[in-house]
Amino acid sequence: MAGVAGVCAASPAHLPPATDLAAHGADAARRGEPLVVLVSMPGCSYCDAVRRNYLGPQAAAGEIAVREVDMTADTPLRDADGSLTTARAWAGARQVRVAPTVLFLDRQGRAAAGPLRGMQPDFYGAYLEQALAQARAAVAARK
């Protein structure tokens, strides 16, 4: 893995939206990866920075399985347990109050690492790498 510390190229403005966390989690698990979920909101410049400078380039390189959830939207979302909810309700149920928040989930939708809340540009890459390593280890241990 190239890692996020050297990521410089800008990435697309959007990540694939989360629609079915059971399916997304299963896809990630087949790759031995956690499902990375960016919880964002419209107009959030920090969300754009996380998307463009960190998660987007890693997703484009095939290094992570990532989806995005708009914490303000009432769009339908199937949770990891198969139940139907909305993006807003799902984020609220996970105590997401700050955008951006990055969650690292296992196949069952359980936290595989602690969330990254907000963004500190000077250290974000290191925090992301640390959380990804922890999440990957948790996913491997839960097989």
- How many domains, the chain? 1
pLDDT of residue 13: 62
Confirm whether 118 is domain-assigned: yes
Question: Is 132 part of any domain?
Answer: yes
Q: Is residue 33 part of a domain?
A: yes
Calculate the CA 114 to chain-centre distance: 12
Domain assignment present for residue 32? The answer is yes
Query: Is residue 67 within 8 Å of residue 37, measured between CB atoms?
Result: yes
Q: What pTM, to 2 d.p., does this model score?
A: 0.91
CATH code at position 46: 3.40.30.10
Rounded to an integer, the average pLDDT of 7-20 is 72
- Spatial neighbors of 83 by CB under 8 A, at least 6 apart, are none
Domain that holds residue 56: 21-141
What is the per-residue pLDDT for 1? 40
